[in-house]
Each structure stands twice: as C-alpha cells, then as structure tokens.
Structure 1
Amino acid sequence: MGLFGTDGVRGRANADKMTAEMALKLGAAVGRYFRRDGSDAAHRVVIGKDTRLSGYMLENALTAGLTSTGMNVLLLSPVPTPAVGMLTTSMRADLGIMISASHNPAEDNGIKLFGPDGFKLSDAVEAEIEAMMAGDIPLAPAEGIGRAKHVYDGRFRYAERVKATFPAGMRLDGLKVVVDCANGAAYRTAPEVLWELGATVIPVGTDPNGHNINRDCGSTHTDTAAQAVVAHGADLGISLDGDADRVMILDGDGRVADGDQLMALFAARWASDGRLRGDSLVATVMSNLGLERFLAGRGIALHRTKVGDRYVVEAMRQHGFNLGGEQSGHIVMTDYATTGDGLLAGLQFAAEMVRTGRPAAELMESFETVPQRLENVRYGAGAQPLEAEAVKRAIAAAEARVAGTGRLLIRASGTEPLIRVMAECEDDTLLNSVVEEVAEAVRACA
C-alpha cells in the first residue's frame, strides 16, 4: 500500500507512516509541487487540525517542510474539515491541509490535501507528490524561506458561511437540539451556530483533551447522543465525527438515520423544487438498495462510485451534479461546500423540520432499507487476504448464492488494515450465512 489511501494519508500516530519525519517530507514535496512555476510570487497554505494530541507534532513538521520550500503557512487551529476547503479558496491559498483521522480513535491521525479550488486532490496529483518524496526536493534559498502565522478568525468565518446556507428568514426557535461534537474539531463551532440560529442547544462531546476524540461519542458511537436526546426531551440529535465532515441524525426517541436516509430526503426535496441538477444523486457502492429503489420511483438516477467522499465529489463535478454522499454520513452539497459537511447537513435537516412542521421521526425514514450486514476483518502487516485462492473461492460462491436477490461487496479499507465484507439480501438467513462464510475465509488468511 502506498502513502495515500482513499482520504489522504492515515495511520497510527508516531508509528508506521504517520511520523513527524514523513510529515516534514510531505510538506516539502507539497510545497515544491505548488511552487513549480518558479515565480517569486507569494504562495500560501492554510492548515487546520482536529483535537488529537499528535496534531501539534504533525502541524509543526508540515509547517517546517512547507516553509523550507518557500510556502507561507496560515495556521487555523482546530476547525472542521469543510472549513479548510472553504478557507483555502476564500483566503486565496494555493493549498489547504487538514490534519485529522476523521472518525478514527485518537491514536490515529491523518493528512488531507485540498487544491486551490477547495476540492481534495486527485489520485493523480497525490501520486506525483508521493513520487517527489522519493527523491531530493529542492529547497528555497535562505532569503526565500516562508513564514508561518496563526489565523484566529478561521472558525468564525466558517460559522458565518454555514449560517448563510440556512434558508433566509427561517429560525430554529423552539427546537431543542442535542449536538454531539465527538470531542473533535467542531466542539465550539457547532453549538454556537445552532444557538445563534435560535435553537435550544444541549452540547455533548465538547471537552476535548487530546485523547478522547470519538471515544464513546460522535457519529460512530451514537448511543451517547441518543441518551442525551431522551434525557432532555430533545426534538433532534446531530451527531458529528471528529473532523465534522460526516453526521448521523437522531429523532426524539434516539433512533438514528444514516447518510442514505438523509440523501433520500434531500434528493426528493430538491427534485420537487427543481434544484436537483441532472435529476441525479451520487453515492458509493455501500449505499443501500432501498435508496436506489426509492430514487428510481421518483425518476431520480443513482450514480455509484468507489468508497470515499472524494470519489463522490469527483463524479459530481464530472457530471455537474450538486448532491451526493455516503451511507457513513458524508453529505456533499456543492452548492454550498466542496466536501462533506456534517454541520451543514444537520442544519438542512433541521430546516426541513421547520419548513414542514414534521418531527424528525417522520423525515428520517424515507425508505425501507434492504437488510444489510457489514463485517470488518482486521489483517496483519504484509497479509493480502483478497489475493488468497481460498478467499476468492468463498467470494465467488457467495456471489452465486445471492445472485438475483441481493448483492455482495468485498473491499479493502483505504484507511485501516481491514477487509470489509458487506452483503444485502431480503433473506436474513442467507444474508448472515454468506457474510460469515466470506469473513471466516478472510480471517483464515489474515
């Protein structure tokens, strides 16, 4: 596996590839890549991060590498990932960098790269940068070394941009909202935005200490938000992940709606308003068959991509579509943002509650899901389970069993050493059987 995965570079902090040495080299390579014109014009990069302890180490190493090639660095401190995409363009930067491992535990970290248009870099550009890291990177002369400074209003700029996406003249007055910030990047911004729009806010996961990001909270641990919703009698729960680019929505009983249900709601609403470009939605291969059937019944096409919000965005840009996302909670609305934005999606859901006068429970179940099961199988260093003949045979047999009634998807994670075994089928017994058989074959070779 190369340096870059499905969403930048990711790994265990201070181990494997996620070291200060790597970040220094990556910063220099990225700086040189974006200064290839050789001009003396000022070049700048914005760097944001979430609340992980290792963020300090990686931020300093990246800054050293970038300034060594003549880039001027603007340090944003903790901000959500979508803020980096937005500020890269609004601050006329050549590059944006987010230091985050998203929903992963605090022991991990990652580096996501954004181009001057605010969109994540393509595979091709990342490959060029990785190739540069393998050689000698020309440094700037002493008089050309870049500067670094802190920018303290980044999160406020982002907050105002997000609030501007809320329908004009609409307020959240009378709505009680639990917002779980996962002890992550939005721990101040999300509660502030909701309160300023009129909501009564119950904040959860807003006490980061460098080690507790995503720990028993956030979009991958929704029980915490669910308990708060029920305990406070809230109307709505908004559960973000560590860098706030994904979201899960909860109703007043603490039940959870994933990204598929949110995309169904937004796609249907936008289509009825004539806002859905191309009458199409972009989602990944992981999205439920129920979503596909729901959209087809309304004349909306579903375009599937590889897993990863960057691939969703690439397809959206290629075809001119403006709505897409992932079952995991990345919701991409390119009318407003260049990447998934959990807070923005949560606000759009709340706006639909206000507009319709309907409770969250009614809005978050647009379609009946086809039974789906996902099993993650971890494998050791050097192992390649999907290359094993026994695994290939198990996959072929499972595909034959579900043919015509469901589907099977087996893939390696791009962010962790996991093989993801997923199946969908109307028959629960068959569903569990095929997943267990493939997962067991993978474990035997892991």
Structure 2
Amino acid sequence: MTLIKSISGIRGTIGGQPSDNLTPIDAVKFAAAYGSWLKNSQPGKKTKVVVGRDARISGPMIQQLVMNTLVGLGIDVIDLDLSTTPTVEVAVPMEKADGGIILTASHNPKQWNALKLLNHKGEFLSGDEGAEILKMAEKADFSFAAVDELGKITVVDHYIDTHIEEVVLLPLVDAKKIAEAGFIVAVDGVNSTGGIAVPKLLKRLGVKVKELYCEPTGHFPHNPEPLKEHLTEICDLVKKEKANLGIVVDPDVDRLAFISEDGEMFGEEYTLVACADYVLSKTPGNTVSNLSSSRALRDVTEKYGGNYEASAVGEVNVVELMKKNNAVIGGEGNGGIIYPELHYGRDSLVGIALFLTFLAEKKVKVSELRKSYPAYFMSKNKIELTPDLDVDGILLEIQQKYSGEEVSTIDGVKIDFAEHWVHLRKSNTEPIIRIYTEAKSQEKADEIAGKMMEEIRAIANL
C-alpha cells in the first residue's frame, strides 16, 4: 500500500516499509516538514501548534512521534490528546496557534492513520501549501533546535467542553427548545472520540442518550464509514429504545448520519439538506457543496431564493467556494456540515445541534421531515486502480463520449443529464476511481452506475 499524499492529508497504513506506509519514520518526516514550513513563514517568532487525535489504536504512538518532532524543531505544542477534528479546528484560533495537526484517518479502518494539517485559522491547508510541505519532506529540508531552544508540550483537556459551549451559544441553536422536546437519542460513537463528544453535547442540550460503542478504545466494532450496510445495530437500537432518532459519526466526528425513528436511514446526503433548510429558513443566503453531493441542496436553496454552487471534492475546495460566494452554510454530501458562524470546517456537533433545534421547532418525526424533501437516490461505487491504469485517459474518453450533455471537469468528470447525474473521479484518500450517480429512484441510480462501470471496464480492458 503506497502512502497517499493529498489535500486531505498524509495518510497510510501502519507498519511496513518507510515511504510505502505510514511508519514512524514517515510520521517524523512529515511532521518535521510541516513544522519547518510554519517556522519559515514567520522567522524569529516562537511557533505554536495544536495537536489532537481520534481514538484509533496507533494514535498514541503517532501522537508522541509528531509532538516530539515539533518540540525538536523548537515549536511549542498544545496537546489536546483525544479530540475531534472540528474541536482541533476550533482550538487553533482560540489558542492563537500558528497551525494544528489532527491525527486521524477519518472513515478508514483501524490499520490506517493520517496527519491532517491546519493553518492558523484552523482550516485545512491549500493544495499549493500542501505541495510545498511535501516537497520539503522529500528533501528532508529542515533543521532542528539546539537544546536550550526546544519547544514544550502543554496538555489542555477542556476543548471538547469548550467546543460544545461554542455550539450551544450559536444564535440558531435553541437548547431550551431542544430540552423541552424530551428527545431520546441513540448514539453510535464507533468506539472513537465521537463516543466522548456526542453524548456530552446531547446531555448538555437536555437530551436522553442511549449509547452504543461510545468507549474510545479504537477497536472499531464495524466498518467506521457511516453507511447503511454498516449500521444495522444502531438502527435496531433506535427501534428497541423507541428513540426519536439515531446519530452516527465517523471516528473523527466530521461526518454525520441520522437514523429515523422507524430505524431507517435518514440518508447521509440529507444531513446537509436538513441543516441547510433550517439555517436558510432563518438566514436566507447561498450554499455550496461538492460535485458528488445531492441535487436536493440546490432545490432547498432555490426555495429560499438563494444561489447554489458546486465545488471540486475536498473540504478545502468547498470552503474556498463558500467564502467566495458568501455561503451561509455548506458542506459535503457525506454528512459533512460546514457552518461559518462557528468555523469553516465539517462539524458533526454543529450539525446535531442545528438538526435538533429544527426538529424541536417543527414538531415532526424524523421520517416525516425526510419525506418533505425532494426524493433523490444515490449509488456510490468504486473501481480499484492498478498501476498500469491510465485514469486520466479513461476520464477523457468518457468526457468526449458525453460532450453533448452538461459536463464539468473541475474534478474528474461530472455529467448532468435532465433527470440524473454521474460523477467519476480519482479518490483523494484511496487508490480507486469513485463512481457516484444520482437519480429519482434507487433502481435507476444503480442501473446508471452499473452501465458506467461497464463502460470504464471496456475502455480499460479490465
């Protein structure tokens, strides 16, 4: 397995050979490159970096390697230890730090880990900045500090609580209304830091919580990507406990999925749609999601007179377009909510609080809320890459074949037909081609995906 370097972070599997996997040597090398890049951008100034991690098994090892590499560069470290991705993003500007590192491989299985790099605003680095750091890592272009100039590590353990308070203080979050609704909510924390943060938030909002896999052991009890096929136990728990809804997050708590009271998936794509519906009903404006997200967000945005635009896939691309278009809310169809009122990062805690306020205000069941939105169905598939596969050539051939349709090439190839769309792209995080389709029935979405996969295999002689 090769080490994957992209705008989504430096990601790989633990163990194996340096440069092929995320070994201790690679962790040190990339942490040193990032720390050196920060120092070079502000010569003569003491540098400070916030570091937090999810609960995966390799986390303590990688964290110590990364933090002490930064100390060796003369950088002070704020150690959040077990945390969430959005919590680290919130902590960076609060600490007036120069950057942040989140140690998480997000939805990937337990053998994976990664370094996600933030700037002084607590936002992900741009592609150009990431490329500069990768270049420094390859050249080992860094110099360590003398003994009297070493950095220091300060442990700060309040930031999950602080993050929760910042969420509760948002003008569109109504804790009183949520508490009065008397919600019962089941939570699957996939044995990571969502098991700490989500129940804490819910209890702060006066919600009765039924916990499933909320011990942050790092031993994921099921595939940690919050997709329907992985979530049978939480769906059963919702029905058994007669809960109003279920909440599922990924290991670093930046992806959010809901379960309706009947044990059915609300639909990961509709997490953003519902939160946007609420935000737009109070503060009309523009929205942004990526090219692989549902058309339903466009429909809801236009209902309130706003303008919807789609970015390339990748949180940094969504954020860039949100800033350009003054979007009041945005995110990604994988359950990632970005609400600039708090910060420019995917944040499940913000999404939960907005959703519960909306639900309490509307006084409807989760299944009824879901039925109020346009019915779109997605099919998400992938084809494994092989070293000799000319992906760009395949995508170009598909683009030319469908040139008579509305085609976007800002990120792979997206073809918009009248009643459906297809998006083909190389993944930023895995060695695969993703094939996403959306149509007005699941059968049609699956049929379109199957047809497109056949075309790709024919072109590639797979």
Give the TM-score, by structure 1 length: 0.90
1:284 correspondence with 2:290: yes
2:362 to 340, 356, 360: 356
1:172 correspondence with 2:179: yes
Deviation at 1:258, TM superposition (A): 3.1
The 3 A distance-change label for structure 1 pair 365 and 42 is farther
Counterpart for residue 389 of structure 2: 384
Counterpart for residue 411 of structure 2: none
In structure 1, C-alpha distance between the alignment counterparts of 2:12 and 2:259, rounded to whole Å: 30
Counterpart for residue 10 of structure 2: 9
- Per mean C-alpha deviation after superposition, the further-off stretch among 64-73 and 235-244 is 64-73
The 3 A distance-change label for structure 1 pair 154 and 412 is same
| Superposed CA offset, 1:241-293 (max 9, x none) | 110111011211012223442333333333332x23xx211011112234323
**For the Cα contact (< 8 Å) 2:191–2:219, is it kept in 1?**
no
Matched position secondary structure for 1:170: helix
Deviation at 1:179, TM superposition (A): 1.4
Counterpart for residue 340 of structure 1: 346
In structure 1, C-alpha distance between the alignment counterparts of 2:384 and 2:367, rounded to whole Å: 35
Deviation at 1:333, TM superposition (A): 0.4
Counterpart for residue 137 of structure 1: 142
1:95 to 75, 96, 99: 99
**For the Cα contact (< 8 Å) 2:192–2:217, is it kept in 1?**
no
Which structure 1 residue ranges, 5 or more long, are not aligned?
none
Counterpart for residue 423 of structure 1: 437
The 3 A distance-change label for structure 1 pair 51 and 131 is same
Matched position secondary structure for 2:371: coil
- Per mean C-alpha deviation after superposition, the further-off stretch among 318-327 and 286-295 is 286-295
1:156 to 146, 153, 161: 161
Deviation at 1:394, TM superposition (A): 5.6
Deviation at 1:84, TM superposition (A): 0.2
Counterpart for residue 272 of structure 1: 281
**One-letter amino acid of the counterpart of residue 12, structure 2:** G
Moved over 6 A (4+): 398-402, 427-430
Counterpart for residue 43 of structure 1: 47
**One-letter amino acid of the counterpart of residue 374, structure 2:** E
**For the Cα contact (< 8 Å) 2:259–2:265, is it kept in 1?**
yes
Deviation at 1:432, TM superposition (A): 4.1
- Per mean C-alpha deviation after superposition, the further-off stretch among 106-115 and 9-18 is 9-18
Counterpart for residue 198 of structure 1: 206
In structure 2, C-alpha distance between the alignment counterparts of 1:428 and 1:186, rounded to whole Å: 30
In structure 1, C-alpha distance between the alignment counterparts of 2:388 and 2:221, rounded to whole Å: 29
Deviation at 1:423, TM superposition (A): 2.4
Counterpart for residue 227 of structure 1: 236
**For the Cα contact (< 8 Å) 2:278–2:354, is it kept in 1?**
no
Counterpart for residue 146 of structure 1: 151
In structure 1, C-alpha distance between the alignment counterparts of 2:156 and 2:56, rounded to whole Å: 19
**For the Cα contact (< 8 Å) 1:107–1:211, is it kept in 2?**
no
Deviation at 1:363, TM superposition (A): 2.1
In structure 2, C-alpha distance between the alignment counterparts of 1:158 and 1:88, rounded to whole Å: 12
The 3 A distance-change label for structure 1 pair 164 and 393 is same
2:307 to 285, 298, 301: 301
Counterpart for residue 252 of structure 1: 261
**For the Cα contact (< 8 Å) 1:63–1:73, is it kept in 2?**
yes
Counterpart for residue 409 of structure 2: none
In structure 1, C-alpha distance between the alignment counterparts of 2:41 and 2:272, rounded to whole Å: 41
Deviation at 1:426, TM superposition (A): 4.7
Identity of aligned residues (%): 25
- Per mean C-alpha deviation after superposition, the further-off stretch among 405-414 and 160-169 is 160-169
**For the Cα contact (< 8 Å) 2:196–2:216, is it kept in 1?**
no
1:327 to 333, 341, 350: 333
The 3 A distance-change label for structure 1 pair 230 and 365 is same
**For the Cα contact (< 8 Å) 2:8–2:116, is it kept in 1?**
yes
Deviation at 1:397, TM superposition (A): 4.6
Deviation at 1:404, TM superposition (A): 3.9
Deviation at 1:420, TM superposition (A): 0.8
Give the TM-score, by structure 2 length: 0.87
**For the Cα contact (< 8 Å) 2:276–2:297, is it kept in 1?**
no
Counterpart for residue 117 of structure 1: 121
Which structure 2 residue ranges, 5 or more long, are not aligned?
406-415
Deviation at 1:169, TM superposition (A): 3.7
Counterpart for residue 412 of structure 2: none
| Superposed CA offset, 1:300-339 (max 9, x none) | 2211011122221121122322200111100110102331
